[in-house]
Amino acid sequence: MPEKYHIATKRMPPRLPRIGKFGVVDWREDCAGCHNCVKKACVYDRYRQEAQYIKGLNDVNAFFSECMGCFSCVQKCTKGLLSLAVNPAYERLGNGYFTPDIILTTWDQAETASIPVSGAGYRGKFTGDGFDSMWTDMSEIVRPTRDGIHGREYISTAVDIGRKPSQLTFENGELVGALPPLVDIPIPLIIDMLPAKYSFLQLIPVFVAVAARTGTMAVIDWNDSGLLGAEKEKNLSHIIFYLGKDTPLPPEGIIRKSRLMEIADGDNVEPRIKELKSVNPELVVAVRVDLDAHGGQRAIELAHQSFVEVIHIAADIDGNQVGAAKPRFIKDMARDIHTSLVKEGIRDNVTVISGGGIALTEHLAKQIICGADLVAINLPLLIALECRLCQDCRDGFACPAKIETLNTDYAVGRMTNLVAAWHDQLIEVMGAMGMREVRRLRGETGRALFFEDLEEDTFGRLFGTRTKS
């Protein structure tokens, strides 16, 4: 049996005070001073911790966020002095796409490296925009036509990056021609550069270390490679150097030892790839295409070129088309590209890496179903460091999460935990789908249910035409 892919994790408690969803407002005036005060009966022991904090015995003010909103003290206080309120700090977290709930669950996963589990049913909207308008399927009775019965440990999340020949030719038992180079990583996720809004140069070595710990790769701008120092040489197999359109090529030594490099799209794509390949024929080169108005078409065009092996399609950080007034969403754009390549019979000529809008593991799984081979993430890893996407850093204010002064080991630990939790959750959904390999999940829309299709097939037949988009 091959060695199992396993990410070693360790609990990484937060450095900053936690932010919970609820807070109890305690109106002490008029307190009757009951001996059996309801505060003593708090199931979560919140008030005892508060008392200790006030006494100075315990300087961890975690109690501020331990309120779980059960209303028990509110409802039992003999004078009705306690009230519950939504924590304003919670409401301020994140933004419209990375909602407070996403920030909190990411923090939780970065701390514990475990799958978030909770009681009671789903509490959200019936459906929504983007990834919320589809569901992954499951397999009721595992049928022989599917992947058969298996334990979680047999589910592979590995992917190959590069061109995959559609057939092999043999002559006298010998393979004819050379196989194109492939890079394999054990999880369908690479670490992308941070967007300009959230640029923390000191995190570059951290990203490389996380990639090395988890066996994946990190995209690093070659212009920033000076920040890596000796790490650069040591971890080359986990680094994807990104070369802007006019960035001069790195020294030959670096190119020779690299597995994968990424170049910006432009009119010089072909000569650049050929130049890189001439130094290292085993190098895989990805082309980064911004998904603007012409991005989708451009990606399809590139896939037709014999010199292109990997296309990295990049939407904006919320998964939207770049610079469009009515942007399309990454899932739909990826689906179009995938379908078009399948129709033309050239899907396996290129690997599609999809970036932007991936905030939760479910997005990763859904994006692969919609046709990406793997995804690139950046902001979730930044959130793992207790970033709350406030963008204060952009305006030159001090970071509330103190990312500048972060201990490297701690940062690597938090991000590694997050990747491990995502890996485990990916295995959960794949297990439910009855899939054994993430490679086979790519473009497998038969393993997903789309809102529009379901509506049309059920309510559409009963109630006519849908008037609300």
Partner 1 sequence: MADSSVQEQRAKQVLPENTEKTLVPQVEIPRVIKPAPSRFRNEIAKYLVRRSNDCVHCGKCTEVCPYGVHVLKSGYKNFAAPRQQFCIGPSCRQTGHYCVYLCPQQALKMVENPMLKCLGDYRWTPDMLLATWKMAETGAPPLPEYGYDYETGASGGGFDRLRFKFADKPAVELADDEIDTGLELNRRHDGRPQIKIDVPWYGGGMSFGSVSNITQLSKARAAVAFNTFTCTGEGGYMERMRPYDDHTITQVATGLFGVREETIQRVRIVEFKYAQGAKPGLGGHLLADKVTPAVAKMRETVTGISLFSPFPFHSVYSIEDHKKHMDWIKHVNRRALISTKVSTPADVDMVAVGSYSAGTHIVHLDGGYGGTGAAPDIAKKNIAMPIEYAIVKVHRFLEQEGIRDKVTLMVSGGLRTSHDIAKAIALGADGVVIGTAELVALGCLRCGRCESGRGCPRGIATTDVELSEMVNLEWGTQRIINLYHAWRKELVDILKRFGLRSVRELRGRSDLLMHLDYTNDVEPRR
Binding site for partner 1 (CB under 8 A): 22, 43-44, 68-72, 74-78, 80, 83-86, 105, 115-127, 135-144, 149, 360-362, 365-366, 425, 428-429, 431-434, 446, 449, 454, 457-468
End-to-end CA distance of the chain: 50
Separation between Cα atoms, residue 376 and residue 286, nearest integer Å: 13
Is the Cβ of residue 320 or residue 361 nearer to partner 1 in the bound state? Answer: 361
Long-range contacts of 296-301, Cβ-Cβ distance < 8 Å, separation of 24 or more = 296/333, 296/336, 296/337, 298/265, 299/337, 299/352, 300/337, 300/340, 300/341
Strand ranges for 132-290 from DSSP E:
134-136, 159-162, 170-171, 174-175, 182-185, 189-191, 218-221, 239-243, 260-264, 284-290
DSSP 8-state code for residue 177? S
Is the Cβ of residue 77 or residue 352 nearer to partner 1 in the bound state? Answer: 77
Is the Cβ of residue 32 or residue 201 nearer to partner 1 in the bound state? Answer: 32
- C-alpha closest to that of 288 among 247, 256, 327, 253: 247
Look up residue 293 and give its amino acid. Answer: A
Separation between Cα atoms, residue 226 and residue 224, nearest integer Å: 5
Task: Tell me how far, at minimum, the Cβ of 155 lies from partner 1, in Å.
Answer: 12
Task: Tell me how far, at minimum, the Cβ of 20 lies from partner 1, in Å.
Answer: 11
Task: Name the one residue in this structure whose structure tokens are 């399948």.
Answer: 342
- C-alpha closest to that of 418 among 108, 204, 144, 52: 108
Is the Cβ of residue 227 or residue 449 nearer to partner 1 in the bound state? Answer: 449
- A 10 A CB-CB count for 428 gives 15
What the block records as the tokens of 29 is 């005036």
Is the Cβ of residue 48 or residue 76 nearer to partner 1 in the bound state? Answer: 76
Is the Cβ of residue 39 or residue 232 nearer to partner 1 in the bound state? Answer: 39
DSSP 8-state code for residue 250? P
Task: Tell me how far, at minimum, the Cβ of 144 lies from partner 1, in Å.
Answer: 7
Task: Tell me how far, at minimum, the Cβ of 420 lies from partner 1, in Å.
Answer: 14
115 neighbors 122 (Cβ within 8 angstroms): no
Task: Tell me how far, at minimum, the Cβ of 125 lies from partner 1, in Å.
Answer: 5
Q: Give the dihedral of Cα atoms 418, 423, 424, 430; nearest 10 deg.
A: 150
Task: Tell me how far, at minimum, the Cβ of 161 lies from partner 1, in Å.
Answer: 25
Instruction: Look at strands 82-86 and 22-26 and give their pairing.
Output: antiparallel
Task: Tell me how far, at minimum, the Cβ of 461 lies from partner 1, in Å.
Answer: 7
Is the Cβ of residue 45 or residue 409 nearer to partner 1 in the bound state? Answer: 45
Is the Cβ of residue 250 or residue 431 nearer to partner 1 in the bound state? Answer: 431
Task: Tell me how far, at minimum, the Cβ of 112 lies from partner 1, in Å.
Answer: 12
Task: Tell me how far, at minimum, the Cβ of 124 lies from partner 1, in Å.
Answer: 6
47 neighbors 28 (Cβ within 8 angstroms): no
Task: Tell me how far, at minimum, the Cβ of 81 lies from partner 1, in Å.
Answer: 10
Task: Name the one residue in this structure whose structure tokens are 């990190």.
Answer: 218
- C-alpha closest to that of 96 among 130, 135, 123, 133: 130
Task: Name the one residue in this structure whose structure tokens are 């690597």.
Answer: 412
